[in-house]
Amino acid sequence: MRILGLLGDGDGRGAARLCQVAAQVTGMTGAGVMLLAGGRPQASVCTTDEVSSLIEEAQYTLGEGPCVDAHRLGEVVSEPDLVTAGASRWVSFSSRAVGAGARAVFGYPVRIGAGQLGALNLYRDRPGPLDDDEHANALVMADVAARAVLAAQAGAGLGGIGIDLEEDLFVWGAVHQAAGMVSVQLDIPVVDALVRLRAHAFLTDRLVSDVASDVVERRLAFGSDE
């Protein structure tokens, strides 16, 4: 009931409010909701802050992290301390998340029945697990997120995205534009160009969307000698 009250309060619109409430009722610093397909992030529904966006972006770039695992395994994924967990789990993701200011990260599957939509990601700027109440609230919020996304999609036209959802969804469009450009530059398929972009971002320790905007703005071109 408290959650329902919170969702109704405040000025934030739909998805943004969802993420704010998710962070609030789970005692987290920030939260985000991502849609995933085929084991990879496909779109971001909402994030509460810069760090949450970076956590999503890092998982998008690297293809690893709590949301990717929560979605892939269909289970809650907890990492109460990214620092002491050492390098065993999500090597690249961990260093970026810690660098951005996250200390504990959690991924909750967003699904209805057997249908996996994506994941709710939660982070805290200090180490420690969720207590029982916070965990229960996180499960509820993941469920609310699934229902909210599908309810918004229910009004969509054929082949389209629901109007309310369309405003909120972020599909990393520039990354795909850049992949199209690189595919022409190198005469390779778009999928391979996407891999090259991600590899470049990884090697230069940058975010894939930053690399992509360099390509789109024509500050960076991929030559066959690269």
Residues in touch with other proteins (CB under 8 A): 35, 37, 42-43, 112-117, 146, 149-150, 153-154, 156, 159-162, 165, 169, 171, 173-174, 176-185, 189-190, 216
The dihedral region occupied by 20, where left means phi > 0, alpha psi between -120 and 50, and beta the remainder, is alpha
CB of 51 to other proteins, least distance (A): 25
* Residue 170: CB minimum distance to other proteins, A: 11
Q: How far is the CB of 169 from other proteins (least distance, A)?
A: 7
In the three-class reduction of DSSP (H, G, I as helix; E, B as strand; rest coil), residue 188 is classed as coil
**Which CB atom, from 92 or from 177, has the smaller least distance to other proteins?**
177
Distance in Å, CB of 162 to other proteins, minimum:
8
Neighbours of 206 (CB within 10 A): 14
Taken in order 82, 86, 89, 91, the sign of the CA dihedral is positive
**How many Å apart are CA 36 and CA 38, to the nearest integer?**
7
User: Quick check: 97 and 55 in contact, CB under 8 A?
Assistant: yes
Which one, 205 or 217, has the nearer CB to other proteins?
217
Which C-beta is closer to other proteins: that of 138 or that of 197?
197
Count of CB atoms within 10 A of residue 148's CB?
23
Q: How far is the CB of 156 from other proteins (least distance, A)?
A: 7
Question: Cα separation of 58 and 101, whole Å?
Answer: 13
- Specify the residue, 60 or 90, whose C-beta has the smaller distance to other proteins: 60
Q: Which is nearer to other proteins, 106 or 222 (CB)?
A: 222
Query: CB-wise, 32 or 162, nearer to other proteins?
Result: 162
Cα 116 off chain centre by: 15
Q: How far is the CB of 98 from other proteins (least distance, A)?
A: 30
Do residues 29 and 51 make contact, with C-beta atoms less than 8 angstroms apart?
yes
